A and B are shown apart, each in its own frame.
Chain A
Amino acid sequence: MRKAFINSLTTISENDNRVMLLTGDLGFSVFENYREKFLDRFINMGVAEINMTGVAAGLAMSGKVPFIYSIIPFVTMRNYEQIRNDLCYQDVNVKIVGVGAGFSYGPYGHTHHGLEDIAILRVLPNITIFSPSDSVEVGFCMKKAMEIDGPVYIRLSRAEEKSLYENDGELMVGKGSVLKKGNDVVIFSTGALVHTALAVSGELAKKGIEATIVSVHTLKPFHIETAETLIKEKKYVITIEEHSVIGGLGSIIAEVIADAGLSVPLVRIGVPDRFTKEIGNQDHMRDVNGLSVDRIMRRIEELGLFT
C-alpha cells in the first residue's frame, strides 16, 4: 500500500504544485524517487512529529497542501493535540498519512502497532478518515483527499495487498463498497482485513451461509442510510477490523444500529482490550488476537449464530 500511496502522491504532485510531502524521518526505499523529483517540496522533518504537524498547519495556511507521514502512533498520537487544535480546529488543508495499520509492524512491539487511531481520530470534528484495503482504494482515497479542503487521515497497512477492483469507478466517499452480495449476514470490514472478510465469506458459503461483504474505505464521514440498508433484513451483522474492538468500525456500526433502532445481533471482531504480551509477525499477531480466518470462523461457530 505504501507503493500505491507514493505512486498516487507522485501523480498528484505532478499536477498540483501546492502538494508537499513531510516525513518524520521515514521512507527509506520508498521516498527516494519522490525526493529526487520534487526536491523543494519534500522535507524530512526529523523525528519531530509535533513540529511536523504544526509546520504543516502553517504551510497549509499559506496555500500549500502538505501530506505528513509516519508510522501510525507517531503521526496520530504523539501529535494528537496538534491534530486537534492546529489541523481540525482551524480546519486547514493537511493530509495525515499513517503507515502500519494494526499489526503491520507485528514483531516490533506495541509501540509500533496501530490499534487505536480510528477511535481517537474519529471524535475530532472536520476530519475525514480513509482506510483503504487495496491499491485501487488507496488511489481513490488520495484523489478524494485532494478534493477535500480540510484535514484528512489515510490509514495504510504495510503489506502490498492484491487488488479488489479493476478501477475506482463505483467508489463513493462515505459509502462502503459492496464487494459481494449475500442475504444471510453482512460483514463490514476495513483496510487489509477486508481480504480476511472475503476469505471468511468463502468459509461461510461452504456452510450454506451467504454473506454480503462491505469494504468500509471511509470511516468518517459515514453514510448511515447506506449502512442501514445493508444491515436491514440480515440475520446478523459482523464487523472485522485490525483495530481495538473499542472505538473503531465495530463501534461505528453499533452506533448505526442503536440510532436506527434496528434489532439485529452484532458481532464485533477486533483486537481485544489488552496489550498482546507475545510477539510475532502480522499473521501470528492477528491469529492470537482472533483475527485470522480460522479464529473468526471458530468465534462465529461458538456463538452458535448459524445453528
Chain B
Amino acid sequence: MIKEVELNDLETHAKNIRREILTMSYNAQSAHTGGALSCVEILVALYFKILQIDPLKPLDADRDRLIFSKAHDAKALYAVLAEKGFFAKGLLEGYEKTGGKLPGHSTRNCVPGVEVSAGSLGHGLSMAAGVAYAGKMDNKSYKTFAVLSDGECDEGSTWEAALWSGHHKLENLTAVVDYNKLQGFGLTKDVLDLEPFADKWTAFGWCVEEVDGHNMEDLVSLFSSTPFKSDKPSIIIAHTIKGKGGIPKYENEMSSQYYPPTKEEFEEIMENLR
C-alpha cells in the first residue's frame, strides 16, 4: 500500500507535468497533446515509484529501461524526465522549436533519459524485447518497460514482437498500453477494433492486467507486482481518457490530437492547474 503522503507527491508531479505539457503545446502550437495527457499517471508512477534509475547516471548498465514507443506524445516523456531531474526544465522551451533540443518525436539521447528513437508506430516493443532479452542473457536484474499507444497496436510489427516476447517468456518485460480509445482519425473501435484486446495478449503468451490508467494508487500497485507471472511477459492495459486533465475541449475528443490550446484556454487551464 502506498502512503497517502507519497500519493500526494505523485499527484503533484502529475499536475506539474500536465502544466509543462500544455505549456509546450501552447508555445510550439503543437499537435499530439491529448495522448500526452492520457499517459501522465502511467509515466509518473513508473518514473517516481518503480524504475530503478539515477538521473545522474542515465546510461548506467544496470538501470531499468523505459522504451517510449508512442513517441508522438514525447511532450509527456520530456516533462517527466525534466521533473525527475534528467535535464533542466528550461530545455522544455526548445520543444519543436527551431534551435531547440526536443524533437516532436522523442529521439535517442536527444536529452539524457530518452532510451530510443521512435515516432514511426510499432517499433518500440521489438526494441524493448531485445533489451529485455539481452538482460536475461547477461543475468542482469534490470527491468524493461514499453509504453505503447492503442493506435500502434494496429501495426503488425507490434504483434510480431508480442509473439516473440511471449515465446521467449520475457518476464523482465512489461508493456503498458495507453488505451485512450481514440486514434488518428477515429475511435479505435470504429477504425480497427482491438477487442477483445486482453484476450489477444493472453493468446500471445502474456499475462494481462487491466487498470484505470489515471488511478495512481492502482498503477503503482500493479507495476510493483510485475512480473505477474514468473514465466511470461506482463502487459497492463491502462484504460485512459485522451486529453485527460487538459482543457475542456480535449477530453475524449479527437481534436486533442491536433489542436493546441488558444490563449484564453491556456491561461485558464494554467490557473486551474495551480
Residues of A at the B interface (CB closer than 8 Å) are: 40, 45-46, 48, 50-51, 53-64, 81-82, 85-86, 89-90
Q: Which residues of A contact B123 (CB under 8 A)?
A: 54, 81-82, 85-86
Residues in A whose Cβ lies below 8 Å from that of B116: 57, 61, 86, 90
Across the interface, do A61 and B164 meet the contact criterion of CB distance under 8 Å? no
Residues of A within 8 A of B67 (CB): 58
B137 → chain A closest CB, angstroms: 7
**B163 contacts A by Cβ under 8 Å:** yes
B-side interface residues, number (CB < 8 Å): 31
Do B163 and A48 touch across chains, with their CB atoms under 8 A apart? yes
Counting chain A CB atoms within 10 Å of each CB, the highest count among B129, B134, B137 belongs to B134
Q: A51 CA to B123 CA in the complex, in Å?
A: 8
Determine whether the beta carbon of A57 is less than 8 Å from that of B130.
yes
Please name all residues of chain B whose beta carbon is closer than 8 Å to the beta carbon of A59 when the two chains form the complex: 130-131, 133-134
Residues A54 and B129 in contact, CB atoms below 8 Å apart: yes
B129-153 at interface with A (beta carbon < 8 Å): 129-135, 137-138
Pick the interface stretch among B28-36, B154-162, B216-224, B258-266.
Answer: B154-162
Q: Judge whether B117 is part of the interface by a CB distance below 8 angstroms.
A: yes
Among A46, A48, A86, contact of B127 (Cβ-Cβ < 8 Å): A86
Given contacts A51-B157, A53-B126, 17 further A-B contacts (CB under 8 A): A46-B167, A48-B164, A51-B126, A51-B161, A54-B123, A54-B127, A54-B129, A55-B161, A58-B130, A59-B134, A61-B115, A81-B120, A85-B123, A89-B107, A89-B117, A90-B108, A90-B117
When distances are taken between beta carbons in the complex, the residues of chain B under 8 Å from A63 are 61, 134, 138
Closest-by-CB residue of B relative to A54 is B126
Whether, in the assembled complex, B182 has its beta carbon less than 8 Å from a beta carbon of chain A, the answer is: no
Counting CB contacts under 8 A, is B128 at the interface?
yes
12 contacts between A and B (CB under 8 A): A50-B126, A51-B161, A54-B130, A58-B127, A58-B128, A62-B131, A62-B138, A86-B123, A86-B126, A89-B107, A89-B108, A89-B117
Which of A46, A48, A60 is packed against the most chain B CB atoms within 10 Å?
A: A48
Output the least CB separation between B132 and chain A (Å). Answer: 8
Shortest distance in angstroms between A160's beta carbon and chain B's nearest beta carbon? 33
Q: List residues of chain A with CB within 8 A of the CB of B161.
A: 51, 54-55
**Contact call B163/A55, Cβ cutoff below 8 A:** no
B107: chain A residues within 8 A (beta carbon): 89
Contact for A48 among B128, B131, B160, CB less than 8 A: B160
Instruction: Determine the distance from Cα of A155 to Cα of B129 in the docked complex, in whole angstroms.
Output: 27
Instruction: Please report the C-alpha to C-alpha distance between residue A53 and residue B107 in the assembled complex, in whole angstroms.
Output: 18
The answer for the CA separation of A175 and B45 in the assembled complex, in Å, is 54
Check if B129 sits within 8 Å of A55, measured CB to CB: yes
Chain A residues with CB below 8 A from B157, complex form:
50-51, 54, 82
Asked whether B160 lies within 8 Å of A61 as measured between CB atoms, the reply is no
Q: In whole angstroms, how far apart are the Cα atoms of A51 and B157 in the complex?
A: 6
In the complex, what distance in Å separates the CA atom of A70 from the CA atom of B108? 27
